[in-house]
Amino acid sequence: MSEQPPQMSSAFQTFMTQAPGQAQAWMAAVQGLAQASALDTKTEELAYLSVLAVLRLESGIPFHVHLARQAGASREEVISAILVGLPAAGQVVTQALPAALTAYDAG
Q: What is the pLDDT of residues 28-68, one digit of tens each?
A: 999 999 999 999 999 999 999 999 999 999 999 999 999 99
Q: How many domains does the chain have?
A: 1
In a domain, residue 29? The reply is: no
Q: Give the chain's mean pLDDT.
A: 93
In a domain, residue 1? The reply is: no
pLDDT band at 16 (very low <50, low <70, confident <90, very high): very high
- N-terminal to C-terminal alpha carbon distance within the chain: 12
In a domain, residue 90? The reply is: yes
Q: Say if residues 65 and 104 touch (Cβ distance below 8 Å).
A: yes
CATH number, domain at 45? 1.20.1290.10
Length of the chain in terms of residues written: 107
In a domain, residue 58? The reply is: yes
In a domain, residue 65? The reply is: yes
Q: How far is it, in rounded angstroms, from Cα 1 to Cα 4?
A: 9
Q: Which domain holds residue 76?
A: 39-106
Q: How far is it, in rounded angstroms, from Cα 86 to Cα 80?
A: 10
Q: pTM of the entire structure? A: 0.87
In a domain, residue 69? The reply is: yes
